[in-house]
Amino acid sequence: MHLIFDLDVADDRRDEIIEYITKTYGKEQVAQICTFGRMLSRAARAGCYSSLGYPYSIGDKLQKLFRHQRQGFPITIDKALAESS
């Protein structure tokens, strides 16, 4: 029987979690796969509004000033600013 776990853990506890899993299941049974993504401009702006403490409604209104990006055609923040009124 094989068990598969997919875990997303905080960076500050990652080593601790990996050590525990390795001790529990054995080194030969544990593998790590790391993926990286990038935050597109819409998500980056939304994150900024939130982290600066703006209410969701303000962030939503600001987001609507920018045109939507299409799948596979990301828009940079500079381009979005240049195109917005």
Domain range annotation of the chain: 41-83
pLDDT at position 29? 86
- Matching residue, tokens 């080593």: 15
Q: How far apart are CA 77 and CA 43, in angstroms?
A: 11
pLDDT in tens, the chain (85 residues): 567 777 777 778 888 988 998 999 899 888 887 776 666 667 777 788 888 888 888 888 877 777 666 666 777 778 777 877 6
